[in-house]
Amino acid sequence: MKTLVLVWVALLALLAATAASSFVPLGGWNSAINLAISCAKALLVAIFFMHLRHAGALLRLVAVAALLWLGILFGLSSADFGARTISPAPWSLRY
Amino acid sequence: MLYAAAITTFFFVGGAAATLIRLELATPASDLVSAETYNKLFTIHGVIMVWFFLIPSIPAVLGNFLVPLMVGAKDMAFPRLNLASWYLYVLGGIFTVATLLAGGVDTGWTFYTPYSTMFSNGAVLLAVCGVFVVGFSSILTGLNIIVTVHRLRAPGLTWFRLPLFVWANYATSLILLLATPVLAMTLVLVALERFFYVGVFDPSRGGDPLLFQHLFWFYSHPAVYIMVLPAMGVASEIIPCFARRPVFGYRFMAYAILAIASIGFLVWGHHMFVSGQSLYAGLVFSLLSFLVAIPSAIKVFNWTATLYKGSITFSAPMLYALGFVGLFTIGGMTGLFLASIALDVHLTDTYFVIAHFHYIMVGGSVMCYLGGIHFWWPKISGRMYPEGWGRAGALLIFFGFNLTFFPQYLLGWLGMPRRYHEYPPELQLLNVFSSAGAVVLALGYLLPLGYLGWSLFFGRKAPDNPWGATGLEWQTASPPPKHNFRDIPEVHAGPYGYDPAR
Amino acid sequence: MATIPLASAEAGAERARLGMWLFLATEAMFFGPLFFGYVHSRLADSAAFASGSHHMHFWLGTINTAVLLTSSFTMAISVHGKERIRGTLGLTFVLGAAFLLIKGYEYGSEIPEVLAAKGAEQVFYLLYFAMTGLHAIHLLIGLGLVAWLFLSAHGRRAGTPVEIVGLYWHFVDAVWLFLYPMFYLLERYSA
Ligand SMILES: [Cu+2]
């Protein structure tokens, strides 16, 4: 019960931090900070609210597998987008 | 069993479309159907065969029935979820039939953007809805199988005592769970783009068509393994039984299944070598594609090694399984041609590709689906099928299949592109062979429908274990009682306790 | 690995837990293309995304995040509690409904700007509506489940159904934790 309250307070504090950070111009770091804080919040929710702390290896594996597979989707697709030569059509709005 | 009926129906609808395609292609000119009708035919053939037949065939029909039996459980982990999954399948099917009634779609089963979102006049939204809904049906089936394998194994049934059929369906379910939702959401984006006229995938509106291709193939390459892994599982049950030998290298077979399932997620870019994808990414995808060949080859070698010094009975299921091994090997080897970028540039979108994936999907999955249906027919229906007819059917299908698709390798090598309803006259001879083969194949598929239907009513009553097979499913009555077993069995040994001497 | 006999209640709970986690894994993959579409489209035209983000209601979004986090907190207390969990379940429902009402108000006020958008900004709005809309649909289902718990006998004491609905609720909350900075916080300093 006490941990739950602490987690809740921590979540709200992180929310305040992420909201405040967006008013400080830091270039690319703004997104990095936002992403890191979101991950931290999601981890807090998963570990304490969703009981991953007490869960068996199997449930943890399921949780990690989902993230790993999202990582595959993001990683290999970005491998293309990051390394592509772009030859836009004359009418393209892009680039 | 509800599944079997629904899936058979769709198989014959999709097959009818295929027959029409081949009939049109019997002559170089366009005479039977118009270009638009032809486009709609191959689209509906692809959509139905992929999502309404191949993907659900073995996991939903045989898996739902056999996995609980093979792990010694009373039923699936969530029986009501199972029924829900069937209803979703039917709902998806209704959407697809509605698509047909609304005039069909002409985008190809791949729904490539921006054609599907901006230009096509077909009933794209309806078709997309159908695929979306049937996707959730597969996801629920997969979820059910995974929980069943994890939680409902009989006492003593450790992971490495599971039959390979269970391993294969387990790995397939993992793919269903991790890949299908990506396709579902991608199709939602296609629908939104088409409906609101906003271009996530359209370069002239700030989008990127390759984004669609990446998302689509992230699902659709692993989908090939959804179709072929369960087939491998079926072959791994039939071959040891009729060779009277334990599977050679059981553990490696299990590891190979898991390896194929996971490496299969890393190779989708080989469908995009000529799409404008980065050359470096193409290189990586090409290398990774070659890697899948390793566990696949392990499986082929182990099946052949299982046959070595066995006392082989050429029953109908065995003929199907052996046909599968041969056709899968040819399909897999030609896949290596396509995984090499330099060759693929020449062969992309030709009949070589068509022949390749039909060898894997029809020569692989359909052969084993039919083999499995024959092998477990006594268990499912409690009746024996007529063995002579069964063997004739298997041989006819094998012959018809090769006559249909082998000429297509040659046609593709000569440069005949896919998805055209006309072709130059010098290619007619091979096309006529192929079309003739399609007719033989169609007859071959009608044959089992006939005699299996007959045996349902007039077949000889089946004993509990007609093949002298090991495996828990043969230790209960044919057909199994309501809760599968009278007493929950206990397991003390691995799955393939065959002895060649007997 | 010990196998659990079929009939016991704990075995049922184990099955349900694994089933729900697997389902949440597919849900994560379901959101995947949207998230990747966002990353890709934003990298292609970050200026359009920033200007789209400036049309969002910063305060409403922030308050809504706090509301949703608190609803997750009350849900966690319900799962944790033994008896008399109706109060916290009811509170969870109210907070979830409040989130949807605020979101609905935002949607309504954004329509004119959306219709005026062009090019990549349209893509921003499509992703915004698709992602927050899908999230809202999930929350709506969650509300239905919580209402069912509240009205049925499960609301009297914590048990497996409360725990399973809780898992789903927290997952939906966690998705929002990513959506919030993605849409509301882009280059706020220059707004
Ligand atoms: Cu592929």
What are the pLDDT digits (tens) for B473-498? 998 888 888 888 888 888 888 888 88
Picking from B77, B189, B207, the nearest residue to C33 by CB comes out as: B189
Q: How far apart are the C-alpha atoms of B304 and B99, rounded to whole Å?
A: 44
State the pLDDT confidence band at B140, using cuts at 50, 70 and 90: very high
Which residues of chain A make contact with B269, given a CB cutoff of 8 A?
76, 80
pTM, to two decimals: 0.92
Distance of residue B228 Cα from the nearest chain C Cα, in angstroms: 22
Domains of chain C (ranges; CATH) run: 27-189 (1.20.120.80)
Interface B-C, measured as beta-carbon pairs within 8 A, has a size of: 102
Per residue in B38-76, pLDDT tens? 888 898 898 989 999 999 889 888 999 999 999 999 889
Q: How far apart are the C-alpha atoms of C159 and C146, rounded to whole Å?
A: 13
Distance of residue A8 Cα from the nearest chain B Cα, in angstroms: 31
Domains of chain B (ranges; CATH) run: 2-475 (1.20.210.10)
The answer to whether residue C21 neighbours chain B at the CB level (below 8 Å) is: no
Residue B292 near residue B308 (C-beta atoms within 8 A)? no
Per residue in B280-292, pLDDT tens? 888 999 999 999 9
* d(CA B269, ligand 1 centre) in Å: 8
Which residues of chain A make contact with C22, given a CB cutoff of 8 A?
62
Q: Under DSSP, is residue C136 helix (H, G, I), strand (E, B) or coil?
A: helix
B487: exposed, middle or buried (C-beta count within 10 Å: 0-12, 13-18, 19+)? exposed
φ and ψ at residue A54, rounded to 5 degrees: -100, 0
Alpha helices in C45-85 (DSSP H): 46-53, 58-80
Distance of residue A15 Cα from the nearest chain C Cα, in angstroms: 7
Q: Say if the Cβ atoms of B277 and A84 lie within 8 Å.
A: yes
Other chains touching C, judged by 3 or more CB pairs under 8 Å: A, B
Q: Say if the Cβ atoms of C44 and A94 lie within 8 Å.
A: yes
The answer to whether residue A82 neighbours chain B at the CB level (below 8 Å) is: yes
Picking from A69, A80, A88, the nearest residue to B269 by CB comes out as: A80
Q: How far apart are the C-alpha atoms of B234 and B299, rounded to whole Å?
A: 13
Identify which has the larger pLDDT, B238 or A82.
Answer: B238
The stretch B22-28 carries a mean pLDDT of 77
Residue B188 near residue B132 (C-beta atoms within 8 A)? yes
Alpha helices in B266-419 (DSSP H): 279-307, 316-339, 341-347, 351-360, 367-381, 387-413
Q: How far apart are the C-alpha atoms of B348 and B488, rounded to whole Å?
A: 53
Q: How far apart are the C-alpha atoms of C108 and C121, rounded to whole Å?
A: 18
Contacts of B441 (CB under 8 A, 6+ apart): B397, B400, B401, B403, B404
Distance of residue C124 Cα from the nearest chain B Cα, in angstroms: 9
Other chains touching A, judged by 3 or more CB pairs under 8 Å: B, C
Q: Under DSSP, is residue B123 helix (H, G, I), strand (E, B) or coil?
A: coil
Q: Say if the Cβ atoms of C41 and B200 lie within 8 Å.
A: yes
Distance of residue A42 Cα from the nearest chain B Cα, in angstroms: 20
The answer to whether residue A58 neighbours chain C at the CB level (below 8 Å) is: yes
Picking from A83, A89, A92, the nearest residue to B281 by CB comes out as: A83
pLDDT of residue B320: 95
The answer to whether residue C32 neighbours chain B at the CB level (below 8 Å) is: yes
φ and ψ at residue B350, rounded to 5 degrees: -110, 180
pLDDT of residue A93: 55
The answer to whether residue A69 neighbours chain B at the CB level (below 8 Å) is: yes
The answer to whether residue C41 neighbours chain A at the CB level (below 8 Å) is: no
Q: How far apart are the C-alpha atoms of A45 and C76, rounded to whole Å?
A: 9
Q: Which amino acid, C46?
A: S
How many Cβ atoms are within 10 Å of C8's Cβ, its own excluded? 10
Q: How far apart are the C-alpha atoms of A60 and B367, rounded to whole Å?
A: 38
Q: Say if the Cβ atoms of A77 and C171 lie within 8 Å.
A: no
The answer to whether residue A79 neighbours chain B at the CB level (below 8 Å) is: yes
Among positive and negative, which fits the CA dihedral B46, B52, B54, B55?
positive
Q: Is the pLDDT of residue B122 over 80?
A: no
Residues C106, C111, C116, CA angle at the centre, nearest 5°? 135
Residue B285 near residue B268 (C-beta atoms within 8 A)? yes
pLDDT of residue C1: 35
Distance of residue B97 Cα from the nearest chain C Cα, in angstroms: 26
φ and ψ at residue B75, rounded to 5 degrees: -165, 180
Question: CA B56 → CA B7, B61, B64, B137, B226, distances in Å?
Answer: 8, 7, 10, 9, 9
Q: How far apart are the C-alpha atoms of B47 and B33, rounded to whole Å?
A: 19
Q: How far apart are the C-alpha atoms of C173 and B143, rounded to whole Å?
A: 23
Q: Can you read off the two tokens belonging to residue C152?
A: 């049925």
Give the residue extent of every domain in chain A: 1-50, 56-81
Residue B281 near residue A84 (C-beta atoms within 8 A)? yes
pLDDT of residue B229: 95
Q: Is the pLDDT of residue A95 over 60?
A: no
Q: Say if the Cβ atoms of B206 and A94 lie within 8 Å.
A: yes
Q: Is the pLDDT of residue A1 over 90?
A: no
Nearest Cα neighbor of B386 from B394, A88, B501 is B394
Cα dihedral B63, B69, B74, B75 in deg (nearest 10): 0
pLDDT of residue C3: 44
**Residue of chain A whose Cα is closest to the Cα of C17:** A59
Nearest Cα neighbor of B221 from B166, B165, B261 is B261
φ and ψ at residue A69, rounded to 5 degrees: -70, -35
The answer to whether residue A73 neighbours chain B at the CB level (below 8 Å) is: yes
Q: Say if the Cβ atoms of C62 and A8 lie within 8 Å.
A: no
pLDDT of residue C191: 67
How many Cβ atoms are within 10 Å of B102's Cβ, its own excluded? 13
The answer to whether residue A9 neighbours chain C at the CB level (below 8 Å) is: no
pLDDT tens by residue, chain C, 191 residues: 344 444 577 888 889 999 999 999 999 999 999 999 999 988 888 888 888 898 889 999 999 999 999 999 999 998 887 777 888 899 999 999 999 999 999 999 988 888 888 777 888 999 999 999 999 999 999 999 999 998 887 767 778 889 999 999 999 999 999 999 999 998 888 86
- Per-residue b/e over A36-59, b at no fewer than 16 CB within 10 Å? ebbebbbebbbbbbbbbeebeeeb
Give the HSE-up count for residue B233: Cα atoms under 13 Å, Cβ half-sphere. 30
Which residues of chain B make contact with A91, given a CB cutoff of 8 A?
204
The complex's ipTM? 0.91
Taking a 5 Å cut-off on Cβ, the residues next to ion ligand 1 are: B 221
* d(CA B270, ligand 1 centre) in Å: 6
Residue C79 near residue C96 (C-beta atoms within 8 A)? no
Q: Under DSSP, is residue B73 helix (H, G, I), strand (E, B) or coil?
A: coil
Which residues of chain C make contact with A30, given a CB cutoff of 8 A?
185-187
Give the whole-number percent of chain A exceeding pLDDT 90: 58
Q: Is the pLDDT of residue B32 over 90?
A: no
Residue C112 near residue C77 (C-beta atoms within 8 A)? no
The stretch B454-481 carries a mean pLDDT of 89
The answer to whether residue A6 neighbours chain C at the CB level (below 8 Å) is: no
Residue B207 near residue B119 (C-beta atoms within 8 A)? no
Identify which has the larger pLDDT, B415 or A88.
Answer: B415
Q: Say if the Cβ atoms of B207 and C1 lie within 8 Å.
A: no
C105-112: Cβ within 8 A, 24+ apart: C105/C60, C106/C56, C106/C57, C106/C60, C106/C61, C109/C57, C110/C55, C110/C56
Q: Say if the Cβ atoms of C21 and A63 lie within 8 Å.
A: yes
Residues in chain A: 95
Which residues of chain C make contact with B265, given a CB cutoff of 8 A?
none
Q: How far apart are the C-alpha atoms of B484 and B478, rounded to whole Å?
A: 10
Picking from C36, C40, C174, the nearest residue to A45 by CB comes out as: C174
Give the HSE-up count for residue B222: Cα atoms under 13 Å, Cβ half-sphere. 30
Q: How far apart are the C-alpha atoms of B95 and B129, rounded to whole Å?
A: 7
DSSP B216-277: HHHHHHHHHHHHHHHHHHHHHHHHHHHHTSPPTTHHHHHHHHHHHHHHGGG-GGGG-TTTT-
The stretch B378-406 carries a mean pLDDT of 94
Beta bridge partners of B350: B417
Q: How far apart are the C-alpha atoms of B79 and B499, rounded to whole Å?
A: 36
Residue C94 near residue C78 (C-beta atoms within 8 A)? no
How many Cβ atoms are within 10 Å of A9's Cβ, its own excluded? 11
Pick from C39, C58, C63, C72 the residue to mutate for testing the A interface (most A CBs within 10 Å). C72
pLDDT of residue B500: 66
